[in-house]
Amino acid sequence: MAFAPTRAASSPRSLTTLVVFIVVIALTVTFTLWSDAVGFASTRTSKRFSIVLDAGSTGSRVHVFTFQTDYFGRERLHSEYFHAIEPGLKSYGSSADAASASLDELISRAKSVVPERARSATPFSVRATAGLRLMPEGQDAADAIMDSVRAKIARAGFHPQSETFVSIMDGVDEGAHGWVATNYLLERLGKSPESTVAVIDLGGGSTQIAYAVGSAIMDKAPSGYVRKIQTPFSAYNAYIHSFKGYGLVAVRAKLYRFGKRDEDGTHPCLPGSVQDTCTKDCYGLEPGETYEAKGSATLGTDFKRCLAAVIETFKEDNRTKCGRGPCSFAGAWTTPRKTPLYVMSYIVERGVQAGAAPHPKTPSTIVSTTAGAFKTAASHACVTPQAKLASEFPLAVAAKVDVDYLCLELTYIYALLTTGYGASDTEAIHMLDKIRYKNQDVEASWALGDGIATLGAATRSYHW
């Protein structure tokens, strides 16, 4: 005869205690995860700050990032404070002290966010980008500005290593930090390389591209093209390249010098009354180099001829600089991209202003477009008579964009996306301004990536 196993009787008090314990744990976990999603600070165990000052081509911008660690030991971005001023450091030329003094407002803004007791543990980085690298007064003037800024940051009362975080940032670093920031905010870090996204940034002086690649690509790539990126989550191999002089403003000089002109010597990307001339200290050129270009009142702008001029510029640099193929443009080695394409900065701005992309409903709405939409917008800008450009592109006028350059700029962006970076006319291109992260709208910029890096360097907790 079989007997069922006997069970020991549980006391009502023990059972009640166990149930209460389980309920408390469940509520604690649920509330912590919920608060992590909405960004409440009340459930976090610690708070740290990282300050990044972006000294760009046209202005300076300060980002104060607040990170908090939850009960599970996860440090997450909690919030970002942002403030911008104009003009940029390069506008001060040889007046180094005046340039550094222009940052006083941003330093004061940062101090208003970071409590005094936390400042000595808070890194403060200042990164000058392409604008300072290309300033007409030359490298000595740029170095003098950075020395003056470095001395000011050393006296500001933040982390003692902060003065070592003041530099003219290399374009490759800019691309790497931008890639990290975007994938961090999209919560792709820690996943497979195929689950990350590619990032293109187009500034005034340069453009960068970054995307994850396999380890086999790293083994065969020429030196300087594939970098190993160690994030707090996992390591990635990433193709990263910066194209100095190929920003939306700086590239004009290259197009005028190398691009094919019309038979009468006028440039097909410029409308009739425009004369773009520089005889000294030309932005985007080496000292002593000049350029001169004018539009044709007879022929006007034309998309096909303008596109041919842009592509001819790409080919010219490849003919003289491409040492090992395959090359994309400017002599740069390239390798196929297999991840979705996200773009920012001038590509987003001109896309929305010219109708190549829908206007986002909120700053953190990610809208999608295609390179083909930029082609359509460029064609429209090029065929529009100069006198009607303002009425045809009111969003550009409202943003104080010089509409006389829309044909050139939109055609260049189309060629950059396709001939330069390999997108097809129909591939989805996702446009970033800010990203919704933990109930906060956070700017998708390299500054966040740099903030993570300097915070790690200052505390020895992360290694890049």
What does the pLDDT look like over 207-227, one tens digit per residue? 999 999 998 998 899 999 999
pLDDT level of residue 28 (50, 70, 90 thresholds): low
Catalytic residue numbers, as ranges: 174
AA identity, residue 257:
R
Lowest-confidence region among 20-29, 154-163, 372-381: 20-29
Is the fold of 46-169+446-459 the same as that of 171-432?
yes
**Whole-number pLDDT of residue 460:** 57
| Burial class of residue 283, CB neighbours in 10 A (0-12, 13-18, 19+) | buried
What kind of fold does domain 171-432 have according to CATH? Nucleotidyltransferase; domain 5 (3.30.420)
Q: How many CA atoms lie within 13 A of 179 on its CB side?
A: 34
In the chain, the percentage of residues whose pLDDT exceeds 70 is 88
What value, to the nearest 5°, has the Cα angle with vertex 47 and ends 43 and 51? Answer: 145
178 labelled ligand-binding: no
Residue 15 pLDDT exceeds 70: no
Residue 399 confidence class, pLDDT cut points 50, 70, 90: very high
Please write the tens of the pLDDT for every residue from 62-110.
Answer: 999 998 887 777 778 888 899 999 999 999 999 999 999 999 999 999 9
Per-residue pLDDT, 62: 97
Q: In sequence order, what are the residues at sequence separation of 6 or more whose Cβ sits closer than 8 angstroms to the Cβ of residue 368?
A: 357, 428, 429, 430, 431
CATH of domain 46-169+446-459: 3.30.420.40
Q: Sort 169 into a burial class: Cβ within 10 Å, 0-12 / 13-18 / 19+.
A: buried
205 assigned binding-site residue: yes
Model pLDDT, residue 130? 61
Instruction: Please indicate if the annotation marks 162 as binding a ligand.
Output: no
Confidence grade of residue 20 (pLDDT, cut at 50, 70, 90)? low
Using the predicted structure, report yes or no on whether residue 45 has a pLDDT greater than 80: no
Higher pLDDT, 10 or 406: 406
Kindly tell me if the per-residue pLDDT of 273 is higher than 90: no
**Domain extent listing, the chain:** 46-169+446-459, 171-432
| DSSP one-letter code for 398 | H
Partners of residue 53 on adjacent β-strands: 62, 126
